[in-house]
Amino acid sequence: MTQLAAPPWSPIGWMPDHTIRLLDQTLLPNEERYLTISTVNQMAEAIRLLRVRGAPLIGISAAMGATLAARPRGDSADGALKNVLRASDDLQATRPTAVNLAWALERVRRRARAAVAAGEDLHAALVTEATAIWDEDRAMCELIGEAGLHLVPDGATVLTHCNAGALATGGIGTALAPIYRAHASGRKVNVVADETRPLLQGSRLTAWELARAGIPTTVITDGMVASRLRRGDIACVIVGADRIANNGDVANKIGTYTVALAARSHGVPFYVAAPRSTFDPATPDGAAIPIEERLPDEVRSSGGGVNAVRVEVWNPAFDVTPAELIAGYITDAGLLTRDTLGSLRS
Ligand code: MRU
């Protein structure tokens, strides 16, 4: 029997009154609590605090959040447009690295201007646009799963870092999409998930969603990656991306670069899975990607432990993996190399 690749739950949804339902990812795996988001500020805070996270999903969430600024309140058309543009700027300021956020909000701004110019109902137009962004992402996840399916043969073990699954997108994920597809087609697949310090997206989130899907998963701490790769049982590494620069350099969760170096040393192919909304031809290379730095306390209290000594902490949320370490890009336009990435320009 063919199983469905898509999980029966969603990290985001519309409520009947077009407020937004969000799964609070900071509480997983201990608690599954859904939040109702009814203001732009609440959505901005949810993105900033990683209650909702993952590059494609923060783009979708921000687009849905911007619609809240256009809910009918008796404003003039110009006043409503100003509210939407201000909301888009506020939402964009929440996190700098994932280009999907800016990409989705640019679509919102364009659609808002066009709707007001044409005398359309602004709120309805933006709900349709945000829903389209979500639907398109879901479809791109399926195509990514298809493009990467051959990399996950029966019996394969895949190593991944952070969470680039259904909790991070509008569909079955990016890095996890080929794994979900392989599992759904009856192949036996195993995943090794890096814990992903300091916020533990691997051990909290990847492990949670793969366990729910019945996919055998082994969690390792980030420092164990090289030892695990040396055992020789990892078919490939697949990670997601927050931004792919024009030359193929990739920003992704801090620690990804270390994994790529270790994979190269052990002859294990390292793949990046991402939709076209993550490709940023306007950013020439990795050095031009803005890297978010987060509060020191995330490191001090990581894993429940608290550093007794108040020393300095450096807490970049992302790092850049140079293109030469990347075997291929698993995208909605197929498996690409850095020379063919340009086909993602839309
Ligand atoms: O800080 P996060 O949890 O939003 O970081 C997420 C990642 O780095 C993911 O790997 C990336 O966004 C791709 S998600 C499909």
Confidence grade of residue 139 (pLDDT, cut at 50, 70, 90): very high
Per-residue model confidence (pLDDT) at position 6 = 66
Per-residue model confidence (pLDDT) at position 1 = 40
Q: Which residue has the higher pLDDT, 24 or 304?
A: 24
Given phi > 0 = left and psi -120 to 50 = alpha, else beta, which region is 132? Answer: alpha
d(CA 60, CA 135): 9
Cα of 244 to ligand 1 centre, how many Å? Answer: 13
Per-residue model confidence (pLDDT) at position 346 = 63
Q: Which residue has the higher pLDDT, 226 or 304?
A: 226
Per-residue model confidence (pLDDT) at position 308 = 61
Average pLDDT value for residue range 141-145: 98
Ligand 1 atom closest to residue 173's alpha carbon, by position in its atom list = 15
Residues marked as catalytic: 242
Q: Please write the tens of the pLDDT for every residue from 12-51.
A: 999 999 999 999 999 999 999 999 999 999 999 999 999 9
Cα of 120 to ligand 1 centre, how many Å? Answer: 35
Which letter, b or e, does each residue of 100-136 get, where b requires 16 or more Cβ atoms within 10 Å of its Cβ?
bbbbbbebbbebbeebbeeebebbebbbebbbebbeb
**What residues line ligand 1, using a CB cutoff of 6 Å?**
50, 53-56, 98, 162, 164, 168-169, 173-174, 201, 240-242, 252-253, 317
Q: Please write the tens of the pLDDT for every residue from 161-210.
A: 999 999 999 999 999 999 999 999 999 999 999 999 999 999 999 999 99
Per-residue model confidence (pLDDT) at position 2 = 43
C-alpha pair distances (Å), 343 with each of 75, 254, 340? 42, 27, 6
Average pLDDT, the chain: 95
Match 């996919």 to its residue by tokens.
215
